[in-house]
Amino acid sequence: MSFFTKLRERLTGSSSKIGAGLDGIVDAAPEAAPAPAPVPSGGIVGRLFGTAPAKPEEPRRALDDEMLEELEDMLVQADLGVDTALRVTANIAEGRMGRRLSSTELKELLAGEIARIMTPVARPLPLYPKKPQVVLVVGVNGAGKTTTIGKLASQFRAAGKSVMIAAGDTFRAAAVEQLQIWGQRAGVPVMVAAQGSDPASLAFDAMTRAEAEGTDLLMIDTAGRLQNRQDLMEELAKIVRVIRKKDPTAPHNTLLVLDATTGQNALNQVETFRQLADVSGLVMTKLDGTARGGVLVALADRFGLPIHAIGVGEQIDDLDAFDANDFARALVGL
């Protein structure tokens, strides 16, 4: 896994948003203090004493209530949510009122606060010795479940694990075909059933085959028809019930896949899916090129669910582990 190289390249939308926001706040210093003239140091003295060439001073702004309010508003705009924005701002303010901060210093402070929120949730998908380890994948239509399963299958294969996929979204024929294509790409078998057939019986068959073949990992795709919440809840509950007949400890992980571009809506989706299934961790997709990565901070702060991975593109290797520090720095534009 290329840790966050892709994120750094692609999180440009988010970083420019918060980064530019912070630049704007500092530049908006009411006193508009002119930057002090740079000290000349390129001459003989500089060369003799090894002084670094002078950089033009960054603008600074004294931290006051007005600046904190601007900071708070900007963070709310960047999808951190009101509660998280308030707390982050208060932490930055503590012991620093009146201090003159540059945009870079403010970014460092903000990155530190965000990293502190994200560090406890940055956890890889836990691996259990159980065979097969069952990963149930849930989320609304279009969130990126099928794509994420394909990417995960490929990474586990590359790590030497045997993998099987059950195409539990039996509602849409196209969904099954899509998963078969991902299965081919990742080199893993995909168990399918007739369109409209019971996903629970498919899950049961997949468990049976995975057990017989000694498969390490069984990933079960599901439908995401939230419009029919009661049906979906029953469908998921039934899948869990039948696989527990085979292994009472399954599913070992229930991954909720969320689309970063939905912004604050991701918070509602977590609330909903926690009622539908025993969600054990999150995957956030489409962080490439979206300006809404801030919602991850709100999610972490509010729910504390592990973030196992992030999607940074549509290709098979576009799934990264989640690293709190890298994410925080990329988000604030450092």
Ligand X SMILES: Nc1nc2c(ncn2[C@@H]2O[C@H](COP(=O)(O)OP(=O)(O)O)[C@@H](O)[C@H]2O)c(=O)[nH]1
| Binding-site positions for GTP | 139-146, 221-225, 285-288
Residue 146 lies near Mg ion (rule: CB under 5 A): yes
What single DSSP character describes residue 133? E
Q: Which residues pair with 285 in a beta bridge?
A: 259
Kindly give, in sequence order, each residue whose CB lies less than 8 Å from that of residue 202, ignoring residues fewer than 6 positions away: 166, 167, 168, 170, 191, 192, 193
Residue span 302-321 as binding mask against ligand X, x where in contact by CB under 6 A, dash where not: ---------xxxx---x---
Q: Which does 154 bind (CB under 5 to 8 A by kind): ligand X, Mg ion, none?
A: none
Closest CA to 137 of 267, 241, 280, 265: 280
Residue closer to ligand X by CB (options 81, 311) is 311
- From the list 127-135, 145-153, 202-210, 233-241, the region that binds ligand X by CB under 6 A is 145-153
Residue 13 lies near ligand X (rule: CB under 6 A): no
CA distance 231 to 100: 57
Minimum CB separation of residue 144 from ligand X in Å reads: 3
What three-state secondary structure class fits 35? coil
Residue 145 lies near ligand X (rule: CB under 6 A): yes
CA distance 150 to 133: 16
Token pair recorded at residue 21: 């926001």
Helix, strand, coil tally for the chain in percent (to 5): 50, 15, 35
Residue closer to ligand X by CB (options 81, 144) is 144
Minimum CB separation of residue 174 from Mg ion in Å reads: 9
Helix then strand count (H, E) for the chain reads 13, 10
Contact status, residue 52 vs residue 39, Cβ threshold 8 Å: no
Minimum CB separation of residue 224 from ligand X in Å reads: 6
Minimum CB separation of residue 225 from Mg ion in Å reads: 11
Residue 285 lies near ligand X (rule: CB under 6 A): yes
* Element housing 74 (H / E): helix 65-77
Token pair recorded at residue 40: 């000349």
Answer for which of 286, 292, 308, 329 binds ligand X (CB under 6 A) is 286
Closest CA to 178 of 127, 211, 142, 124: 142
Minimum CB separation of residue 315 from ligand X in Å reads: 9
Answer for which of 147, 215, 254, 269 binds ligand X (CB under 6 A) is 147
Residue 139 lies near ligand X (rule: CB under 6 A): yes
Residue 175 lies near Mg ion (rule: CB under 5 A): yes
Residue type, 64: D
Residue 176 lies near Mg ion (rule: CB under 5 A): no
Q: Which residues pair with 219 in a beta bridge?
A: 135, 165
Residue 224 lies near ligand X (rule: CB under 6 A): yes
Chain positions 42 to 71 lying near ligand X, rule: CB under 6 A, are none
Minimum CB separation of residue 327 from Mg ion in Å reads: 26
Residue closer to Mg ion by CB (options 115, 192) is 192
Q: Given the rule CB under 6 A, which residues bind ligand X?
A: 139, 141-147, 178, 224, 257, 285-286, 288, 311-314, 318
